Amino acid sequence: MKNVIRFVIVLALLALLFPLYNQFRSAPVNSLTLAKPADPLRAKAFAILGAKCADCHTLEGALPFYAALPVIGKLIKGDIQDGLKAINYQTTLAAAPDQPAGEVLLVKTEKEVSSGDMPPLPYLALHWEARLSAGEKATLLDWIHAERAKHYATAGIAPQFQNEPIQPLPEKLELDARKVALGSKLFHDKRLSKDNTLSCASCHDLAKGGTDQAQYSTGVGQKLGGINSPTVFNSAFQSVMFWDGRAPTLEAQADGPVNNPGEMASNWQETIPKLQPDAELTAAFNAVYPQGYSKETITEAIAMFERSLLTPARFDRFLRGQADAITADERHGYELFKQYGCACCHVGKLLGGQSYEPLGRTADYFADRGKPTPADDGRFSVTKNEGDRHKFKVPTLRNVAITFPYLHDGMTSDLKQVVQLMGKYQLGESISAADNASIVAFLHTLTGVYDGKPLGK
Ligand code: HEC
Ligand code: HEC
Ligand code: HEC
């Protein structure tokens, strides 16, 4: 009995000792506290993040002496590893103190700060000083809102929606109309493929939401591909191209399919001589590009056309202040979309397209689905970094109601099922049937208008 009491007393003392030790540690010094951005609100936010979050979200946290103990040490290092994987403030904010913070970083930080889930409870038990005070929370949220309003609020947004993680598409971009017109012709030109059977539009049909509505695309010679074709609509706002981000721009992307043996199976030496004899096209092309046909000029024209493919939707009218542009249920679906945390990845004008995220953040999607394919590697196939395996560029949800089948593996055309899968594999949540229906209703408000015509009709 005496031993038990002694043990309890020792435990109680230890439970006090660690936090007391932490109380008197000197103020943390790390890249966030040293960064000193010019903007005073930003500087305040960095100081808070540096003091309270850097232990797990930078590589610079000073480990306490008890990190050397067996069990607790392992827990601490696990937390740091998971925290860094989730968000790294050192390589993002601290590395660019005066650059705009990314929309993904802002929405994720906003969610954690307002929910009070960060720092995690076990850490708070040992670091009494690390809890965010009400004032600090308010400062962080003010900073996030200021950053959004300054860098991401689209022109024409209603004032009450300036701080929404989702922003409206512009109605149009200023582009050279002659290049757009040429690009449109080339996008629809089957001479870009080896046997003149496929154009870009064969797999990115504008009447089918900019996709082929097939699980996998079929290339020249009926060759079946191994990955779902994403939409070309609104691709002006994609940060990188392809599911694995292997092309940095639309121009670089357009070179890919022409040369891909599984798609158009051709090359520019082969296609340019096929275009040359077309007197009308060639004259129009040379008038805009005096240097004539080349990989550079053709891909630029196609990219300009793709930048013109904007599809403003009902939801954008709502964000611009037309309250009745969406129904009460659709609006409820949007609120749920934010509450569940969908907007942490599906953010900005595209509701996606800005970050690589693992498919299977909270459960093992690939173990459940089976039949691994090379396409499942995702970003890993570019970086060869094990941490990037199964990470994919987050797809845009614009026009998602008509861009089925879904996911890189095109595994289902049922939007409800995808929403349920997202709950399970990305959020660790089981989404009720009623919530699911409202979210799907919201997703339908993203089906837009192109060239004066509603898509999918
Ligand atoms: C003890 C370590 C620790 C501290 C301190 C900590 N975090 Fe975290 N943080 C984590 C872990 C672990 C995760 C991953 C949790 C998960 O994936 O569910 C995480 C995840 C996050 C995420 C990403 C959430 C997402 O949806 O991916 C954000 C944002 C975040 N933390 C912000 C903060 C902020 C802000 C602070 C300071 C106020 C903070 N954290 C302090 C451990 C920590
Ligand atoms: C045989 C079908 C096929 C043809 C033809 C084709 N594509 Fe694609 N396209 C795809 C597939 C499949 C992907 C996804 C591949 C991946 O991510 O690995 C894709 C990806 C893209 C993307 C990236 C979108 C994003 O959000 O990442 C763009 C842009 C694009 N294609 C434009 C074009 C253009 C321009 C052409 C013509 C020069 C073209 N495609 C021809 C099937 C095709
Ligand atoms: C952690 C980031 C993350 C969260 C949170 C998340 N998603 Fe996704 N979402 C992704 C990624 C990544 C994909 C593509 C995965 C793939 O195909 O391999 C995706 C795909 C989708 C698709 C299919 C789009 C298409 O064209 O194939 C839909 C629809 C979707 N998500 C809706 C949602 C909804 C609704 C929620 C909230 C309930 C949600 N997502 C939460 C990252 C996320």
End-to-end CA distance of the chain: 79
Neighbours of 192 (CB within 10 A): 25
Average of pLDDT values for 258-277? 96
Q: Of all atoms in ligand 2, which is nearest to the CA of residue 228? A: 12
Domain 314-454 class, CATH top level:
mainly alpha
pLDDT at position 126:
84
Fold (CATH) for 177-307: Cytochrome Bc1 Complex; Chain D, domain 2 (1.10.760)
pLDDT at position 13:
66
Does residue 399 have its Cβ closer than 6 Å to ligand 3? no
- Confidence bin at 327 (pLDDT 50/70/90): very high
Does residue 203 have its Cβ closer than 6 Å to ligand 3? no
Confidence check: pLDDT of 332 > 90: yes
Q: How far is the CA of 118 from the centre of ligand 1 (A)?
A: 6
**193-206 pLDDT, tens digit each:** 999 999 999 999 99
- Confidence bin at 272 (pLDDT 50/70/90): very high
- Confidence bin at 1 (pLDDT 50/70/90): low
Give the lowest-confidence range in 16-25, 83-92, 216-225, 357-366: 16-25
Mutate to test the pocket of ligand 1, among 48, 52, 57, 92 (most ligand atoms within 8 A of CB): 57
Mutate to test the pocket of ligand 3, among 229, 342, 408, 445 (most ligand atoms within 8 A of CB): 342
Confidence check: pLDDT of 403 > 70: yes
Name the phi and psi angles at 302, rounded to 5. Answer: -65, -40
Catalytic site includes residue 429: no
Q: How far apart are CA 216 and CA 206, in angstroms?
A: 17
Q: How far is the CA of 54 from the centre of ligand 1 (A)?
A: 10
Q: What is the mean pLDDT of the chain?
A: 94
Confidence check: pLDDT of 18 > 80: no
Q: Of all atoms in ligand 2, which is nearest to the CA of residue 263? A: 1
Active-site residue, from 251, 263, 330, 357? 263
Q: How far is the CA of 93 from the centre of ligand 1 (A)?
A: 15
**49-77 pLDDT, tens digit each:** 999 999 999 988 778 888 888 888 888 88
Confidence check: pLDDT of 19 > 90: no
Confidence check: pLDDT of 114 > 90: yes
Does residue 57 have its Cβ closer than 6 Å to ligand 1? yes
Give the lowest-confidence range in 11-25, 44-58, 116-130, 370-384: 11-25
Average of pLDDT values for 411-434? 98
pLDDT at position 66:
83
What is the pTM (predicted TM-score) of this model? 0.94
**94-113 pLDDT, tens digit each:** 999 999 999 999 999 999 99
Give Cβ neighbours of residue 301 (< 8 Å, ≥ 6 apart).
179, 182, 183, 186, 285, 288, 289
pLDDT at position 60:
87
User: Could you identify the residue written with the tokens 């969406």?
Assistant: 326
Same fold? 177-307, 314-454: yes
By CB atoms closer than 10 A (0-12, 13-18, 19+), residue 376 is buried
> Domains of the chain: which residue ranges?
2-152, 177-307, 314-454
